[in-house]
Amino acid sequence: MPLFKNADAARETAMLAFTIRRALQALGVLLAVGIIAFAMFRFAGDPVNQIVSIDTPAAEREEVRRSLGLDDPVPVQFGRYFLRAAQGNFGISYQFRQPVAQLLIDRMPATLELAFCATVFALTFGILMGVYSALRRDSLLSKLFQAVSLVGISLPTFLIGILLIYLFSVTLGLLPSYGRGDTVRLGWWTSGLFTLSGLKALIMPSITLGLFQMTLIMRLVRAEMLEVLRSDYIRFARARGLKTRAIHFGHALKNTLVPVITIAGLQLGAIIAFAIITETVFQWPGMGLLFVQAVQNVDIPIMAAYLLLVAAIFVTINLIVDILYTVVDPRLRSTLRQPV
Amino acid sequence: MPLDRGLRAFYGTRPEGEAAFLASKIAVSRNKSPASQSRGLPAENDRMLKRSLLLAATAAAFLSATALGAGAATVRYANQGDLKSLDPYTLNETTTNAHLGNVYEGLTSRGKDLAIGPGLAERWEMLEGGKRWMFYLRKGVKFHNGNDFTADDVLFSADRVRAQGSNFLTRVPKDAKFTKVDDYTVEVTLPTPNPIMHYQWDTWYIMDKEWAEQNNATAPTPASAQTPGHAALNTNGTGPFRIESHQPGVRTVFKANPTWWNDAKKEHNITEVIFTPIGNDATRVAALLSGEVDIIEPVPIQDIARINASPNARTLTGPEVRTIFLSFDQVRDELLSSNVKGKNPFKDKRVREAFYKAIDIETIKSRVMRNLATPSALMIAPEFFPLSKEFTRPKYDPDGAKKLLAEAGYPNGFEVGMNCPTDRYVNDGEICQAAVGMLARVGIKINPIFEPKAQYFAKVLKAGGYQTSFYLLGWTPGTGDPHNVLYDIMGCRDNPQSTRGESNLGGYCNKKLDELTDKILVEADASKRTGMIAEAFKIGNEDFGYIPLHQQALAWGVSKKFSIPQRADNEILFYWARKE
């Protein structure tokens, strides 16, 4: 018994050290993203041109430039920004004259809901199609799935989006071509999940955003499943005379899902970050659209805050996945003690 | 290992592909968007998606639906650009001014033909040749919050529009003194005569003094502010519409103002306008074709035919007052990017004339602009200058151009760089491409740099050090008067103390033209003034300082149930709109 306690304590210490180490790494990542972002901003154009009209006298322009601190050297600008950001002040958007944090919070529900729906779509159809095409490898439907997955991987997101719009909005008139439809307010969160027009508006953007993930998951499930089905324990299970159904779904699929969950988790970050294109095509009022508009208008406060936010999302998801690994797979725990 | 495979797929393929796409998306011209790729699909849909019903299953009790009922006269409007700040003094830009022109009013107004008419001032008098002005204000006008409009509001607005953070500093001369004679009379005095002082006052919107003071909004929010201003999110005008809700960059709802002073004689039948910015061309066009919106601006040129062929929408096109032109660096002793060293070929008038004659404007009009452009011999649109018909472009003459180049000492032509925006004007990148081809025929090798406007303007404007040798630019005189063009674009920029010629990117300079410009500013006699303007433009044309190309066309897409006059300054104003 005491042996167990010791092991538990050691594991907890290791876990704590691991978490602290990862948190420090996360800070480093954020700092690096900030430095790279600030180094890139001067190639984005001159923000002053977007703040004032073209016929604005030069003296007035210089006044704006000076008041924004844009005439300071880049390291000074970066330092000032980071000091403020560390205190939770992300500044005021040049174009909207609103606090950036508020703008991002206002836009966040749209992006997260879209990402959530896209993930659900990708997981549901990806797993179903993957399992089917692994079990009935030679059927016509499997070949169709394979073909669809090829389309999903090779067609660019914006093209899929526009094709959907022309088919379902312009030609058939079934679904809205832009926006979120009507939303309901739940505290600070706005949701389109509770109105008919909101749900309708979610369909095409979710498919567009989730299609790549769906094909990825489908191919992953198929490959994993085929491999698992060949393994010894499945053969033993067959030899024991278990029902095919139990073997396929009780044993094979369960073992297939471990890497799928990992990928899906990691992909969630990608879906949030790369919703930019889908949001642009569907005029989806999320953070990605805000970012694209900010790039076009050289709105540095929004660009900087968005990049930091996305970096933070990635770091957090990776951290959670790393920790979950050790929970799911006891064999990985031993690696915790070694420095990463 | 499958996990690795998945990770590779994730880290290897996806982000790079997306990033590359994003980069190209940002760089792509607005008229080259994917719309063209899906052109030709039929558009049969005739009805928009109906308004929302809350799903019966949801607990409606704690949900407050923001759903808006679709009244008969609800107009849905999509524009490429955002409505960023609601403060009428923050950004002097057409789309913003038009939006706010539905809400706020100026002392003057401009009609459907851009003619100046009375606004919040019923009438005015110009005295002492433009040194003293009397404005007689309209009585019985109320702001949306019920406050009365009086002379105090005019005096307050005159201060606010000239305060730090305003982008409209030039709307009201810095040294103009405003005096309240009585509640409905304002006197303005100037140290020097200015007969066109009120030309831009239709977009100098009058704000309520009391409201601004109550809400701590007595100055416009500068871009460097650390706290947002009340006026950036709220409005209180005197105009035909008020803003009910505004989510920056997402959606803005305007409601008709029943207490508008002119409500009895109003021309519109609109009760509500819902504005959504839709940046993507293909999506905007699709929204119009599917009947989800009633009006879009702009329509990409290549989509006009498709919209006109659809059963429920049409396009409105007409000339815009913006003039697109080419010009050259005529200041530097050696061009920034050219194979001619030690001298600047553009200082030679013959070279500039050769460039002018090498441009086949009719081809640009018919091929690049699909006939949606009006070739121009002047740097100003005919709407703003009555004598413009008397000016003609020199004929397209490539042989003459070659001869001129040979005379100037370049029988084999030369190489020069060109700067061109790709997302600012209608088909701007394509116009440059066409010009490159035309100049190649006379032996000039152009090395074009195509850039999005953010990068382009960062280089070519004064703040960027006028870094260009040959460029394309478009200009709308904000005042609606040729003086603005003669001063800002065609004036010498050799005096660093003066604002003259600050937008003269190539530095064309002729002192005789400057002298005339100064006289034009103070001349109160209209016909004398027009004569002097003609003389000034003649000097500019004879110098071949600029190659005016055309006035580009406006293209709005509207539902067949909707009608609105198309004003040549591209302002969409709903107080003239009607919907069946």
- What DSSP string runs through A19-32? HHHHHHHHHHHHHH
Residue A96: its chain B contacts at CB < 8 A? 84-85, 232, 248-249
Q: Give the model's pLDDT for residue B499.
A: 84
Question: Which residue's structure tokens are 């370049």?
Answer: B410
- Determine contact: B25 vs chain A, CB below 8 A: yes
Residue of A nearest to B17 (CA): A156
- Distance (Å, whole) CA B358 – CA B340: 19
Residue of B nearest to A193 (CA): B55
E strands along chain A, which residues? Answer: 184-186, 189-191
**Token couple for B290:** 């599917």
Give the one of A57, A159, A216 whose C-beta lies nearest to B34's C-beta.
A159
Chain A interface test: which of B283, B303, B422 (most A C-beta within 10 Å): B283
Task: Extract the tokens encoding A277.
Answer: 């294109």
What pTM value is reported for the model? Answer: 0.81
Cβ-defined contact of A274 to B43 (cutoff 8 Å): no
Which residues of A fall within a CB distance of 8 Å from B64? 184-185
Closest by Cβ to B44, choosing from A171, A273, A298: A171
For testing contact with chain B, the best of A61, A104, A149, A170 (most B CBs within 10 A): A170
Whether residues A184 and B276 touch (CB distance < 8 A) is answered with no
Question: Best interface-test mutation with A: which of B22, B62, B95, B323 has the largest number of A CBs within 10 A?
Answer: B22
Buried b (16+ CB within 10 A) or exposed e, B531-554: ebbbebbebbbebbbbbbbbbbbb
Q: How many CB atoms lie within 10 A of CB A282?
A: 33
Q: How far is B493 from chain A (nearest CA, A)?
A: 12
ipTM rounded to 2 decimals: 0.83
Q: Which residue ranges in chain B fall short of pLDDT 70?
A: 1-72
- Whether residue B279 and residue A292 make contact (CB cut-off 8 A), yes or no, is yes
List the one residue out of B580, B574, B578 whose CA is nearest residue B257.
Answer: B574
Whole-number Å distance between alpha carbons of A110 and B556: 29
Size of interface A-B (CB pairs under 8 A): 285
- Whose CA is closest to B462, among B298, B331, B568, B311? B331
Among B277, B280, B313, CA closest to B95: B277
What per-residue confidence (pLDDT) applies to B533? 96
Which DSSP state fits A127? H
Tokens 């800070």: give the residue.
A27
Question: Which chain A residues contact residue B52 at CB under 8 A?
Answer: 181-182, 195-198
By the CB < 8 Å criterion, does A231 face chain B? no
**With contact defined as beta carbons under 8 Å apart, do B155 and B186 qualify?**
yes
Beta bridge partners of B325: B473, B548
Is the separation of the CB atoms in B546 and B325 below 8 Å? yes
**Cα–Cα distance for residue pair A20/B538, rounded to 1 Å:** 75
Chain A, residues 35-74, CB within 8 A of chain B, namely 43-46, 48-65, 67-69
Cβ atoms of B460 and B468 closer than 8 Å = yes
CA distances from B351 to B413, B490, B543 (A): 10, 19, 11
Please give the pLDDT value at position A313: 87
Instruction: Give SS3 for B110.
Output: strand
Distance CA A106, CA A101 (A): 9
Chain B (395-424) residues lying within 8 Å, Cβ to Cβ, of chain A: 423
Chain A nearest-CA distance from B343, in A, is 28
Who contacts A60 (Cβ-Cβ below 8 Å, separation ≥6)?
A52, B167, B169
Cα B263 to Cα B522: distance, rounded to the nearest angstrom: 38
Task: Say whether residue B286 is in contact with chain A using an 8 A CB cutoff.
Answer: yes
HSE-CB at B245 with a 13 A cutoff on CA atoms is 10
Residues ≥6 apart with Cβ < 8 Å to B442: B354, B358, B398, B401, B402, B405, B413
Please tell me the predicted confidence (pLDDT) of residue A98: 85
Distance CA A50, CA B255 (A): 29
Instruction: Please list every residue in chain B whose beta carbon sits closer than 8 Å to the beta carbon of residue A224.
Output: 2
Q: Quickly tell me which residue has 């739940």 as its tokens.
A: A186
| Residue stretches of chain A with pLDDT short of 70 | 1-8, 11, 326-340
Length of chain A: 340
Sign of the dihedral through C-alpha A91, A95, A96, A101: negative
Residue B516 · residue B530 · CB < 8 Å:
no
- What is the predicted pLDDT for the residue at B309? 94
First to last CA, chain B: 64
- Taking the Cβ of residue B526 and every Cβ of chain A, the question of whether any pair is shorter than 8 Å is answered with no
- Residues paired with residue B324 on neighbouring β-strands, in sequence order: B474, B550
What is the structure's pLDDT at B72?
A: 56
